[in-house]
Structure 1
Amino acid sequence: MSKNIKLVHPRDQITEVISRIYKRGMTTTSGGNISIIDDDGNIWVTPSAIDKGSLRSSDIICVQKDGTVVGKHKPSSEFPFHKAIYEARPDIKSVIHAHPPALVSFSIVRQIPNTNIISQAKHICGPIGYADYRLPGSEDLGEVIAEEFKKGYKAIIMENHGTVLGGSDLTDAYERFEALEFCASTIIYGSQIGTPKYLTDQQIDEFEAQATGVLPEMKTTTYPSYEVEKRLEICNIVKRSCQQGLMISSYGTVSMRLKGNDFLITPTGINRWDIDLEDIVQIKDGKREEGKTPSRATWVHQEIYNRNPNVNSIIMTQSPYLMAFGVTGEYLNVRTIPESWIFLQDIDFVKYGNHFRKNNNSEIVDNCPTALIIENDSVIVTGDKLLQTFDYLEVAEFSAKSIVLGHSLGEMVPINDEQVEDLRMKFLA
């Protein structure tokens, strides 16, 4: 989907985003609905009782400002609350409603997830409202939801129902939706292995205050063919990470070394699903490509490349099961199966704030381990080829998931020291 969504028809925006939501397992065939209100006051909305896994642009319904319905299906049964939101909040231009499992868990225990669980979510999601239960599809439901939106909320937990979120456009609404479900998942998974810890508002403000684009700009930039290949590789891995739930729209950095200590890195402030070749930022001789703002984690990547000549690619991201360990501080023992230990050995853990540039923390950049978890922030995975690094990330997330899921069965029995030594001799000697 084009980053300039004003150039994409509402029908196509809606089908793209509902496809992402369905494929990520955040709604069912029959559940969830999306709408966009255009500049003429017409509301484009998903149809009622049509498979969310195979929606086409031609399936999207237009409810015109005068109430005329244009399309071959009925509009979503939840259309009344979409309309009520737009009437209550003229700044809201898109609405997403769905039943993602983690947020439904919060809705049925009647709690609101604390978005201070990770660094950027508070600012993306904003404060979270709560709407009492009303009959689905009813005018009453529209009224209670609209009342919450009138209070200034853009994200609402719907009691025993799910969630509804609004945004300045569909990309904004989806980033909020995805970040909130990620927070909910991380809290739930973390609670299975320990006690989640939350960041203070001051810690989050310090994260947000980190300067971006502090590197000076280079005057001219050349694009040799081998670099174009690497840009494509980065874009493909970012999209694959998003598709597999290893990265979310609002957070995730990927980089690849070029020659010497020069490298390519993803930008800040651009939805990860929509990153394109031209968005990737070249860092050369300590300078950034003109007119582009690289990730705020650029300094970490730069120092890893400077001090670790064998590292040629880095992924810094948030994935739910790894972050369950990141928010609890519980030790992630990857002596689960041979593959996990061979690829990862031990995963280090550093305190929140040590990844800020002002600290220039040697735990992160000196002798960088294959994988490292930063408290309440992210996981950093390093390797040679980017596909290899992505494989390490997958293995780490699968290992974390196995431990979280296995926790209810009993105490983990790791591979013992003798078995580890056998692995070391056979695969690492």
Structure 2
Amino acid sequence: MSAILSEATRIRDDICAVGASLFNRGLTAGSTGNISVRLSDGSTLMTPTNASLGELDPARLSRLSPDGAHLDGDRPTKEAFLHNCMYCERPNAGAVVHLHSTHAVAVSVLADIDPADVLPPLTAYYVMRVGTLPLVPYFAPGDEALAQAVKSVAGRHHAVLLANHGPVVAGTTLRDAQYAAEELEETARLHLMLDGRALRPLTPEQVADLRTR
């Protein structure tokens, strides 16, 4: 029990530190975005509803049981189902970061993107940290159909982009999920900056080589 408490204390501090870093760098605004980490006992620590990632209190983070029931702390984010879908379909996922980051959201509203793979492989780090990025169709906030839409692709992709909404990214650790979400946002920014210019993305052979490393 003491080991779990020690783990939870450390993770609570990590979530608050990552939240502040994302908020202070403009990767989320207001009370948007949410973070969760799965503990070794199967329970999940998650940011509360209507909370700014820049002002999180470790003691008030929500804790959920392995089946998603609220155990203690403040009421969890209303987008908890996005995290639960990722954990359900990805047994090795240890953390999930969901942002409303500006450039990723901007890409999600473009009419001419490939819904099977939204962003081109512009850099090696994007390929290694994100891979392919499917677009999940738009659903109103809180619509349970969104959970099913995310669940249908989460088993094959650790990162998805919600149309007119933002990215959801899972990782084996909190830092993995954070860095992948940041790489996704940076690639979205590059994609928009390069709009209308002739591109030289990585070749299929180069992408395949990176995926085998």
Q: Distance in 2 between matches of 1:196 and 1:81?
A: 33
Deviations 1:207-265 (A, max 9, x none): 7999xxxxxxxxxxxxxxxxxxxxxxxxxxxxxxxxxxxxxxxxxxxxxxxxxxxxxxx
Gap change, CA 1:145 and 1:207, over 3 Å in 2? closer
Give the match for residue 175 of structure 1. 179
Give the match for residue 69 of structure 1. 71
Residue type of the alignment partner of 2:60: D
Tell me the TM-score normalised to structure 2 length. 0.85
Q: Distance in 2 between matches of 1:9 and 1:56?
A: 13
Q: Distance in 1 between matches of 2:93 and 2:26?
A: 26
Match of 1:131 among 119, 132, 136: 136
Give the match for residue 201 of structure 1. 204
Deviation at 1:90? 1.1
Match of 2:169 among 165, 168, 187: 165
Q: Distance in 1 between matches of 2:182 and 2:170?
A: 12
Match of 1:191 among 190, 195, 198: 195
Give the match for residue 147 of structure 2. 142
Give the match for residue 60 of structure 1. 61
Deviation at 1:108? 0.9
Deviates more, 1:200-209 or 1:104-113: 200-209
Give the match for residue 283 of structure 1. none
Deviates more, 1:199-208 or 1:172-181: 199-208
> Retained in 1: the 8 A contact 2:12–2:61?
yes
Deviation at 1:144? 0.9
Deviations 1:11-37 (A, max 9, x none): 112111111111111111210001111
Residue type of the alignment partner of 1:22: F
| Gap runs ≥5 in structure 1 | 1-5, 211-429
Give the match for residue 90 of structure 1. 91
Give the match for residue 331 of structure 1. none
Q: Distance in 1 between matches of 2:64 and 2:139?
A: 23
Asked if 1:113 corresponds to 2:119, the answer is: yes
* Cα RMSD after superposing both structures: 2.3
Gap change, CA 1:208 and 1:143, over 3 Å in 2? closer
Tell me, what secondary structure is at the counterpart of 1:128?
coil
Q: Distance in 2 between matches of 1:101 and 1:81?
A: 19
Q: Distance in 2 between matches of 1:38 and 1:154?
A: 18
Deviations 1:161-191 (A, max 9, x none): 1110111111111111111111111111122
Q: Distance in 1 between matches of 2:140 and 2:208?
A: 39
> Retained in 2: the 8 A contact 1:130–1:148?
no
Deviation at 1:196? 3.1
Gap change, CA 1:42 and 1:7, over 3 Å in 2? closer
Q: How does 1:21-420 map to 2 (within 5 A)?
A: 21-65=22-66, 67-71=69-73, 73-110=74-111, 111=113, 112-114=118-120, 116-150=121-155, 152-191=156-195, 194-204=197-207
Q: Distance in 2 between matches of 1:207 and 1:148?
A: 22
Gap change, CA 1:138 and 1:13, over 3 Å in 2? farther
> Retained in 1: the 8 A contact 2:62–2:70?
no
> Retained in 2: the 8 A contact 1:85–1:142?
no
Q: Distance in 1 between matches of 2:212 and 2:154?
A: 28
> Retained in 2: the 8 A contact 1:44–1:60?
yes
Deviation at 1:202? 2.8
Q: Percent identity?
A: 26
| Gap runs ≥5 in structure 2 | 1-6
Tell me the TM-score normalised to structure 1 length. 0.44
Residue type of the alignment partner of 1:137: G
Corresponding residue pairs, total: 201
Deviations 1:137-156 (A, max 9, x none): 23221111111102x10110
Give the match for residue 239 of structure 1. none
Deviation at 1:204? 4.9
Larger radius of gyration: 1
Gap change, CA 1:207 and 1:173, over 3 Å in 2? closer
> Retained in 2: the 8 A contact 1:11–1:57?
yes
Residue type of the alignment partner of 1:51: S
Gap change, CA 1:33 and 1:207, over 3 Å in 2? closer
Residue type of the alignment partner of 2:130: C
Q: Distance in 2 between matches of 1:205 and 1:140?
A: 34
